[in-house]
Amino acid sequence: MIHFDDKAAFAAALTDLPMPDAAALEAAARRQAMLTKPAGSLGRLEEIALFMAGWQGRESPCAERIRAVIFAGNHGVAARGVSAFPTEVTAQMVTNFHNGGAAINALAGMCGAELSVVALDLERPTGDICVGPAMSEAECLNALNAGAAAVDPALDLLLLGEMGIANTTPAAALCAKAFGGTAELWVGRGTGVDTHGLTRKTEAVQLALALHGDVCGDAFETLRRLGGREIAAMAGAVLAARIVRVPVMLDGFIGCAAIAPLAKEAPAITGHCLAGHVSAEAGHGRLLAALGLVPLLNLHMRLGEGSGAAVAAQIVRSALAAHGGMATFAEATVAQAL
């Protein structure tokens, strides 16, 4: 299991990212070329099969062991009226996840994922990012390691989700810090705030950037100051998954914002990540473009929880079913292209 001993270990891991298995990639590409279809006719399904082959290190990758992890955390900035819902909903939804009643329970079931829920100190919200750092160094490191601990090297695919009332606000701050642009450019309606709520979010992001913008020296410090526990956990999970070459399916705006500070330092961090979907949250499309990711789906979802990632995992399963299950031209005695 991966564990980051201190922030220096986290920073060091970010500068030493493993790459996919070139031999497996080549073998998978050779197999792909022999399957009974015109070259490229399965479009992105072919790319996904090669992506999975490279990270799993085998010619015929599989999607049997899929885990969806939902990290939950509470946010001090919620007190500024930046969400349409009260903060109790975070813990209530955690109970709902355990009872099987949330969207992600149904959707994880459909893609064959086991669901794991990691509640991170819900009774202790982070500090309000407008007046101080979200977390102490120890809290941030703990959150990163909670994410790393959710990564089992034996997984075929890891889906990352989150639950945390108000977390689209720190997510917007992380995007603005990593990729520039005004607060307005990155804030969106989240759970459905009205125009006044949107103004309060914009102001909160502006205050947070004014306070921390110049002192976020690296990815750890940025996550610590502007992020939140579930956000840092997703970042830790992405980096840990990379170390053990487990491919990751990202979900919506918050999950992608979690890796923005990492991507600013090490753009290659997205190499083992697929973007499940582009959510309806205003900044998500722009964020995906900045991360260099092309979403698999655009279903106008704006839920979080890993819901879009779980739907997209079914596309991965389809890609691998074709890649592993189709006959070759030789096996099926089908004539090849002229």
Ligand X SMILES: Cc1cc2ncn([C@H]3O[C@H](COP(=O)(O)O)[C@@H](O)[C@H]3O)c2cc1C
Ligand Y SMILES: O=C(O)c1cccnc1
Q: What is the largest CA-CA distance in the chain?
A: 70
Which CB, 170 or 190, lies closer to ligand Y? 190
Q: Give the tokens for residue 317.
A: 């399963």
Would you name the residues annotated as active-site residues?
Answer: 305
Within 64-93, the residues that bind ligand X by CB under 6 A are 83-85, 89, 93
CA atoms of 77 and 79, how far apart (whole Å): 5
Within 283-312, the residues that bind ligand X by CB under 6 A are 303-305
302 interface partner picked from ligand X, ligand Y, none, CB below 5 to 8 A per type? ligand Y
Q: Which amino acid is at 119?
A: A
Which CB, 156 or 281, lies closer to ligand Y? 281
Which CB, 158 or 319, lies closer to ligand X? 158
Say if residues 296 and 275 touch (Cβ distance below 8 Å).
yes
**Contacts of 42-49 spanning 24+ positions with Cβ under 8 A:** 42/319, 42/322, 44/296, 44/319, 45/315, 45/318, 45/319, 45/322, 45/323, 46/319, 46/323, 48/274, 48/296, 48/315, 48/316, 48/319, 48/320, 49/319, 49/320, 49/322, 49/323
Within 227-266, the residues that bind ligand Y by CB under 6 A are 251-254
Within 171-230, the residues that bind ligand Y by CB under 6 A are 190-191
Question: How many residues sit close enough to ligand X to count as binding (CB under 6 A)?
Answer: 18
- What H or E segment, with its residue span, contains residue 54? helix 44-56
Residue by residue, DSSP assigns 171-205 as: HHHHHHHHH---HHHH---TTT--HHHHHHHHHHH
Tell which one of 168, 206, 270, 279 touches ligand X (CB under 6 A).
168
CA atoms of 127 and 142, how far apart (whole Å): 16
Q: How far is the CB of 24 from ligand X (least distance, A)?
A: 35
Within 134-173, the residues that bind ligand Y by CB under 6 A are 168
- What H or E segment, with its residue span, contains residue 221? helix 219-226
Contact stretch for ligand Y (CB under 6 A) within 125-133, 214-222, 278-286, 309-317: 278-286
Q: Does 322 bind ligand X (CB under 6 A)?
A: no
Which CB, 53 or 108, lies closer to ligand X? 108
Which CB, 84 or 211, lies closer to ligand X? 84
Contact residues toward ligand X (CB under 6 A) are: 83-85, 89, 93, 162-169, 190-191, 303-305
Contact residues toward ligand Y (CB under 6 A) are: 168, 190-191, 251-254, 279, 281, 284, 302-304
